[in-house]
């Protein structure tokens, strides 16, 4: 019997190791594909022209141009705008659900938030076109509402379920002794929440924000539909923009294979992949730093 158990334990460990290695292999395969095709673009396009130019014109009459600076700035512009909207709402909602809401309210809100996470991005894009865009245009006296502000609101809406769920778990995991000690010292429940509970859950909250930011950076269909897709450097939140993901989705299906344009789109995907990896790496480092500081 012990031999059979050992064999089963080894088999389970092997399967778990295989599952972990498969994730690494898939990730490495995606990166290798993007790198292999992406670097081909730099045989025809200079690094300075690719990273520092705002001119993306693959079908230029005199000379094609492949500058992604405006798209990188637009991606960060919309994503950071989404975080400005989503962070206070998401963390506040998480704090309300975990510390203030009655059990009946909590059990009602949590399924609703989970349903929000399952709404297809194309449906949210339709909402931005039909309702939010005209509302923004009417409110601010614009000719059209398909701009960076519209995209930021929609991406914030899509990031909220992630921020709320992870932050709520982090807040609920704070030991009850922390709260009891604060209240015993005469602090109010509000002061305890703001000064004790949320700082104690800061590592989980930061992780939720980074995950939401990564979701915003990688979103495609919503920003493709709701931001106007103007290939120019954004000057303010009311300008139409085109993100990196939207540009790939628009052009990759019609570009001829093995051309400079084709390889340049893979290079854009490589930059997007690296940017997302950096966001996750920063989230991990910040979380570890906060955890060590608390200890």
CB atoms within 10 A of CB 177: 8
Which pLDDT belongs to residue 61?
Answer: 58
Which pLDDT belongs to residue 251?
Answer: 92
Per-domain residue ranges for the chain? Answer: 2-43, 51-294
Q: Is the Cβ–Cβ distance between 264 and 66 less than 8 Å?
A: yes
Q: Does 289 have pLDDT greater than 70? A: no
Q: Does 62 have pLDDT greater than 70? A: no
Q: Is the Cβ–Cβ distance between 219 and 121 less than 8 Å?
A: yes
Which pLDDT belongs to residue 294?
Answer: 53
Residue 100 is classified by DSSP as I
Which pLDDT belongs to residue 2?
Answer: 65
pLDDT category of residue 134 using cuts at 50, 70 and 90 = very high
Please check whether the domain covering 51-294 is classified as CATH 3.30.420.40.
no
Q: How far is CA 128 from CA 143, 145, 162, 226, 244, in A?
A: 15, 9, 20, 6, 19
Going 87 to 91 to 97 to 101, the CA torsion angle's sign is negative
Cα–Cα distance for residue pair 38/264, rounded to 1 Å: 6
pLDDT category of residue 1 using cuts at 50, 70 and 90 = low
The DSSP result for 250-287, as a single string, is: HHTTTSPTTSHHHHHHHHHHHHHHHHHHHHHHHHHHHH
pLDDT category of residue 160 using cuts at 50, 70 and 90 = very high
What residues does 57 pair with on adjacent strands? 65
The most confident of 52-61, 67-76, 109-118, 195-204, by mean pLDDT: 67-76
Q: What is the mean pLDDT of residues 267-277?
A: 92
Q: What is the mean pLDDT of residues 31-57?
A: 92
Q: Does 117 have pLDDT greater than 50? A: yes
Cα–Cα distance for residue pair 148/227, rounded to 1 Å: 6
pLDDT category of residue 94 using cuts at 50, 70 and 90 = very high
Which pLDDT belongs to residue 185?
Answer: 85
Cα–Cα distance for residue pair 186/276, rounded to 1 Å: 44
Which pLDDT belongs to residue 295?
Answer: 46
Q: Is the Cβ–Cβ distance between 223 and 151 less than 8 Å?
A: yes
Q: What is the pLDDT of residues 6-36, one digit of tens each?
A: 788 888 888 888 888 898 899 899 999 999 9
pLDDT, the chain, mean: 89
What residues does 56 pair with on adjacent strands? 66
Which among 225, 243, 241, 240 has a CA at the least distance from the CA of 142?
240
Q: Does 3 have pLDDT greater than 80? A: no
b/e sequence 5-35, b meaning 16+ C-beta within 10 Å: eeeeeeeeeeeeeeeeeeeeeeeeeeeeebe
b/e sequence 133-161, b meaning 16+ C-beta within 10 Å: bbebbeeeeeeebbbbbbbbbbbbbbbbb
Percent of the chain with pLDDT over 70: 95
Q: What is the mean pLDDT of residues 211-231?
A: 91
108-117, 134-143, 159-168, range with the lowest pLDDT: 108-117
Q: What is the mean pLDDT of residues 61-84?
A: 90
Q: What is the mean pLDDT of residues 233-238?
A: 90
């Amino acid at each position: 019997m012990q031999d059979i158990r050992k064999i089963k334990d080894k088999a389970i460990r092997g399967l778990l190791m295989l599952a972990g290695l498969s994730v690494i292999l898939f990730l490495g395969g995606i990166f290798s594909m993007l790198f292999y095709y992406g670097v081909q673009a730099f045989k025809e396009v200079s690094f300075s022209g690719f990273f520092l130019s705002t001119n993306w014109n693959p079908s230029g009459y005199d000379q094609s141009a492949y500058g992604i600076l405006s798209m990188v700035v637009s991606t960060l512009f919309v994503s950071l705008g989404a975080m400005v909207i989503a962070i206070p709402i998401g963390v506040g909602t998480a704090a309300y659900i975990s510390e203030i809401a009655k059990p009946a309210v909590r059990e009602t809100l949590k399924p609703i938030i989970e349903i929000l996470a399952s709404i297809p991005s194309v449906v949210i894009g339709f909402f931005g076109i039909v309702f939010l865009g005209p509302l923004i245009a009417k409110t601010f006296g614009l000719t059209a509402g398909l701009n960076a502000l519209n995209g930021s609101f929609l991406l914030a809406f899509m990031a909220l379920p992630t921020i709320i769920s992870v932050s709520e778990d982090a807040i609920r995991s704070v030991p009850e002794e922390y709260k009891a000690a604060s209240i015993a010292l005469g602090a109010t429940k509000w002061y305890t929440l703001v000064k004790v509970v949320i700082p104690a859950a800061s590592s989980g909250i930061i992780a939720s924000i980074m995950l939401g930011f990564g979701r915003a950076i990688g979103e495609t269909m919503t920003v493709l539909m709701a931001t106007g897709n103007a290939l120019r450097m954004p000057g303010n939140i009311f300008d139409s923009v085109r993100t990196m993901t939207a540009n790939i989705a628009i052009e990759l299906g019609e570009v001829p294979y093995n051309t400079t344009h084709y390889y340049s789109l893979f290079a854009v995907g490589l930059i997007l992949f690296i940017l997302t990896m950096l966001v996750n790496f920063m989230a991990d480092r910040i979380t570890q730093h906060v955890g060590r500081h608390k200890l």
